[in-house]
Amino acid sequence: MKKVMVCGCGAQGSTICRRLDEEPNIEEVVCADYNLAAAEAVCKLMKKGTPKQVNAANVDEIAKAAEGCELIVNVMPLEYGVNVMNAALKIKACYQDLSACENVVEGYPEYDTWLEGIRYMYTEYSKRFAENGTTAIIGTGSAPGVMCVMARKAVNELDECDTIACMVYEGTRTKRFIPFFWSPEVALCDMEEDAYAFVNGEHVRTKPFSHPIKRNWPECGREVTLVEHAHDEPVYIGFNREKYFKGCPKTDYILFQETYNKKSYLELHPTGPKHDYDYHTEAMDRAMDGGIDDVGLGVLFGLEGYQYEFAGLLMHAEHLEAVHGVGPHTISVPRVKKADDIDPDVFDNGLADDMFQKIIACIRIAVPYTGMIISTRESEAVREKALHLGISQISGASRTSVGGYTEKIRPHDSEQFDVSDQRSLDEVVDWLMKMGFIPSFCTACYREGRTGDRFMSLCKSGQILNCCHPNALMTLTEYLVDYASDETQKTGYALIERELNKITNEKVKTLAIQHIAAIKASNRRDFRF
């Protein structure tokens, strides 16, 4: 890159100009500002600086000043952002800014908002720059910018992501009071604006200075209070959640019916918010009407006769398929187990192991596309038989106490129910592999948007195997590298080697081999098909 123009020579712009001046591959830095004296003052501190007076309200003037530049860095007030972007497009230069501009949607004042402006940048302006053969990157400061990079890095280490909290404390120690480190105009506008948050798939507004939380970070030297503040991060992450942030928030919904028998249900829920049987039973319909396209069903076998529950479960699945075009993403099959103040023998509808296994097999036949879940409620022996009858999802090392995962030793005094299979996750993974199953930690479909009818069409056609098989092998490799014992690693790598040879698509097979090698060699993560 030979020539760069920086639009705006204020506190941030002048710093960027001087930093670019140090880059050996840059021959000239055009320092542009409406105040020529400000541009000249910066250039006096540089070796490669060229001052230019530019009226940012005029696209042609910006483009003329930037002739020959390969990159325009925009550090202007937000209202001029669209002009700088259009100038970059005009001269086929790349574009970069520190915060998204507003007023982007030309000719449509009803969309003339900051949120819609950013949406328009991601959709329309990205196309324009792509057609130009150039790149535009928005929000590349510390916050936004580094904050989003840190969030992406953190999410990459997780199997799934439900919540991202962006907390920024900016401060410095000086001999004299400095109210702002950047434009006072922008800072004050931020402070008086409602903030954005991304909640349940929607951008919502929150009041400035609301929801205060206190933090005592060592670097601050004192306790600080953080409040809601109008900023880019929730907007960027919201728009990019499927592509880069594992679908945050996760858009599936699981609710166990417990029992489909209305009389038994009302006896077990005499009061409280769950008392309304109809409202509870119709929750899946409301979820799907609200845009949640993956839902999970389940009854607690033993509360009522298994015949009624089995029929109710399948009829519920049939109803979702008929009304919404998509059946349940998962079906869980828990049984009543001993817990504090709960004796399973009190219930007259206990389900013997052999009948339980028949029900699992029948559900698999009746609803072949669904994921079937069995938990650590069941013993190792029961779970092993169930795996051969259609169970596709299994838990390991589960804890049912409040805060149970924060304790080194499993607490038993507050468990929701007794955990029958108390093996470690490593033991469960090794056990599965030695039986010929592939333990998968994959969440690729959520992150690739393969949910609802898109997921079901792949399931029902059998094409989902082309994604699931290599994804399972890659996520298993991640587990083996990060957490597995030596014995489990040995078992796992042998299994992966065998399974790679079963991939029929040579291109997919080659990529999977390359990705697995990268995971082992360089700690790379988040490959997916």
Radius of gyration of the chain, Cα coordinates, nearest whole angstrom: 29
Higher confidence at residue 268 or residue 310?
Answer: 310
Q: Does residue 393 sit within a domain?
A: yes
Q: Which residues of 107-121 are buried (b: 16+ CB within 10 A; e: fewer)?
A: eeeeeeebbbbbbbb
Helix locations, 28-162, DSSP H: 36-43, 59-65, 81-91, 114-120, 126-132, 146-156
Higher confidence at residue 341 or residue 166?
Answer: 166
- Sheet containing strand 330-332, edge to edge, reads 252-254, 294-298, 330-332, 371-374, 393-394
Q: Are residues 402 and 447 in the same domain?
A: no
Where residue 387 sits, what CATH number does that domain have?
A: 3.20.20.70
Q: Are residues 129 and 21 in the same domain?
A: yes
* Amino acid identity for residue 52 in this structure: K
pLDDT over 70 for what percent of the chain? 87
Q: How confident is the model at residue 23 (pLDDT cuts 50, 70, 90)?
A: very high
Higher confidence at residue 192 or residue 136?
Answer: 136
CB atoms near residue 374 (< 10 Å): 24
Q: Can you give the pLDDT at residue 242? A: 79
Q: What is the mean pLDDT of the chain?
A: 85
- Sheet containing strand 49-53, edge to edge, reads 49-53, 28-33, 3-7, 71-74, 94-97, 136-137
Q: How confident is the model at residue 198 (pLDDT cuts 50, 70, 90)?
A: confident
Q: Are residues 20 and 78 in the same domain?
A: yes
Q: Can you give the pLDDT at residue 402? A: 56
By the 8 A CB rule, do 329 and 371 touch? yes
Q: Which whole number is the average pLDDT over 238-261?
A: 75
By the 8 A CB rule, do 436 and 426 touch? no
Q: Can you give the pLDDT at residue 391? A: 95
Q: How confident is the model at residue 469 (pLDDT cuts 50, 70, 90)?
A: very high
Q: Does residue 357 sit within a domain?
A: yes
Higher confidence at residue 289 or residue 108?
Answer: 289
Six-digit token string for 236: 């960027």
Q: How confident is the model at residue 179 (pLDDT cuts 50, 70, 90)?
A: low
How remote is the C-alpha of 153 from its chain's centroid?
Answer: 11
Q: Are residues 271 and 383 in the same domain?
A: yes
Q: Are residues 153 and 132 in the same domain?
A: no
Which of 112, 137, 162 is the last residue in one of the domains?
Answer: 137
pLDDT tens-digit series, residues 274-298: 889 999 999 999 888 877 778 899 9
Q: Which whole number is the average pLDDT over 121-138?
A: 90
- Tell me which range, 252-256, 343-347, 377-381, is most confidently predicted by mean pLDDT: 377-381
Where residue 24 sits, what CATH number does that domain have?
A: 3.40.50.720
- Range scoring the smallest mean pLDDT among 20-24, 171-175, 468-472: 171-175
Which of 214, 244, 274 is the last residue in one of the domains?
Answer: 244
Model confidence, pTM:
0.53
Q: Can you give the pLDDT at residue 250? A: 40
Q: Does residue 310 sit within a domain?
A: yes
Distance (Å, whole) CA 246 – CA 201: 13
pLDDT over 90 for what percent of the chain? 45
- The conformation of residue 194, written as its DSSP 8-state character, comes to P
Higher confidence at residue 320 or residue 249?
Answer: 320
Q: Can you give the pLDDT at residue 522? A: 82
Q: Does residue 428 sit within a domain?
A: no
Q: If residue 29 lies in a helix (H) or strand (E), which one and from where to where?
A: strand 28-33
Q: Can you give the pLDDT at residue 403? A: 58
CB atoms near residue 511 (< 10 Å): 16
Q: Can you give the pLDDT at residue 253? A: 56
CB atoms near residue 390 (< 10 Å): 20
* Amino acid identity for residue 485 in this structure: S
By the 8 A CB rule, do 31 and 52 touch? yes
- Assess whether pLDDT exceeds 80 at residue 486: yes
Distance (Å, whole) CA 376 – CA 420: 6
Q: Does residue 431 sit within a domain?
A: no
Which range marks the domain in which residue 284 is found?
A: 251-423
Q: Which whole number is the average pLDDT over 112-137?
A: 85
Q: Are residues 197 and 71 in the same domain?
A: no
Q: Are residues 322 and 176 in the same domain?
A: no
- Range scoring the smallest mean pLDDT among 235-239, 371-375, 376-380, 445-449: 445-449
Higher confidence at residue 34 or residue 407?
Answer: 34
Q: Can you give the pLDDT at residue 107? A: 60
Q: Are residues 55 and 131 in the same domain?
A: yes
Six-digit token string for 392: 């596709």
- Range scoring the smallest mean pLDDT among 104-118, 291-305, 355-369, 436-450: 104-118
Distance (Å, whole) CA 23 – CA 28: 10
Strand partners, 196: 205
Higher confidence at residue 438 or residue 112?
Answer: 438
Q: Can you give the pLDDT at residue 68? A: 94
Higher confidence at residue 55 or residue 114?
Answer: 55
- Assess whether pLDDT exceeds 50 at residue 98: yes
Higher confidence at residue 159 or residue 84?
Answer: 84
Distance (Å, whole) CA 53 – CA 40: 9
Total domains in the fold of the chain: 4
Q: Can you give the pLDDT at residue 472? A: 94
3-state secondary structure of 188: helix
Q: How confident is the model at residue 251 (pLDDT cuts 50, 70, 90)?
A: very low
Q: Does residue 430 sit within a domain?
A: no
Which of 93, 113, 137 is the last residue in one of the domains?
Answer: 137
Q: Are residues 358 and 407 in the same domain?
A: yes
The answer to whether the peptide bond before residue 144 is cis (omega within 30 degrees of 0) is yes
- Assess whether pLDDT exceeds 50 at residue 311: yes
Q: Are residues 124 and 188 in the same domain?
A: no
Q: Are residues 368 and 288 in the same domain?
A: yes
Q: Can you give the pLDDT at residue 154? A: 87
Q: How confident is the model at residue 440 (pLDDT cuts 50, 70, 90)?
A: very high
Q: Does residue 41 sit within a domain?
A: yes
Q: Are residues 291 and 223 in the same domain?
A: no
Q: Does residue 433 sit within a domain?
A: no
pLDDT tens-digit series, residues 374-431: 988 899 999 999 999 999 999 887 765 555 555 666 555 545 556 678 888 999 999 9
